[in-house]
Chain A
Amino acid sequence: DGGITQSPKYLFRKEGQNVTLSCEQNLNHDAMYWYRQDPGQGLRLIYYSQIVNDFQKGDIAEGYSVSREKKESFPLTVTSAQKNPTAFYLCASSQDGYTFGSGTRLTVV
């Protein structure tokens, strides 16, 4: 079945570390997105990519980086510059509506 796979489901990061969240899709969608979800704030867009080797900053890109070397993959790196990284991260791809992965919960320890 086609879908989006996010891994890992849970991730713990020490202060000062960079961590990378994986997002893979087999839907053949061109567009992919990363959102951050915090309680009571809905979803906020971090980065998006419409095609391979191209991506754009969203509303809260500071402290994050992405790459889009393959159509299927859109990994997100949470850098040490992100001051409050503890959150639920959702990856999505789109064609006439979003398909979401099941999310990665990142916790700083």
Chain B
Amino acid sequence: AQSVTQPDIHITVSEGASLELRCNYSYGATPYLFWYVQSPGQGLQLLLKYFSGDTLVQGIKGFEAEFKRSQSSFNLRKPSVHWSDAAEYFCAVDVASGGYQKVTFGTGTKLQVIP
């Protein structure tokens, strides 16, 4: 079965600093990959997705992610963090299982932004 690992439970960065959130997956083939963001008490919002092609994908709110097949990774980056980016971020893997799409989420990384 596929799995997703987000090794950092909590990250603190200064406003204006760069950000990288790590995500590793375990799956035999190349899955569909996603990053979602969740503000407290809210649902999840899709930031970006990778299906195939260019391994560097651009998303909303200035985020990007790079798929590295050799490392089974899909790390999320942002060059300059804003205070409004404070939230919880989830990496997700989508594979087809018995004809159905099935998504597995990582346990999330909470981002704190300090002045």
Question: Which A residues are closer than 8 A to B by beta carbons?
Answer: 4, 6, 31, 33, 35, 40-43, 45, 48, 50, 56, 88, 90, 92, 94, 96-103, 105
How many B residues touch A, CB cutoff 8 Å?
Answer: 21
For residue B92, which residues in chain A have a CB less than 8 angstroms away from its CB?
A: 98
Contact B46–A103 (Cβ < 8 Å)? no
Quick check: is B17 within 8 A (CB to CB) of the other chain?
Answer: no
Contact A98–B100 (Cβ < 8 Å)? no
Secondary structure call for the A interface = strand
Q: How far is the CA of A103 from the CA of B105 in the complex (A)?
A: 17
Among B56-102, those with CB < 8 Å from A are 90, 92, 100-102
Contact B107–A42 (Cβ < 8 Å)? yes
Q: Specify the chain A residue showing the minimal Cβ separation from B47.
A: A97
For residue A88, which residues in chain B have a CB less than 8 angstroms away from its CB?
A: 41
Q: How far is the CA of A6 from the CA of B41 in the complex (A)?
A: 13
Q: How far is the CA of A42 from the CA of B34 in the complex (A)?
A: 14
For residue B34, which residues in chain A have a CB less than 8 angstroms away from its CB?
A: 97-98
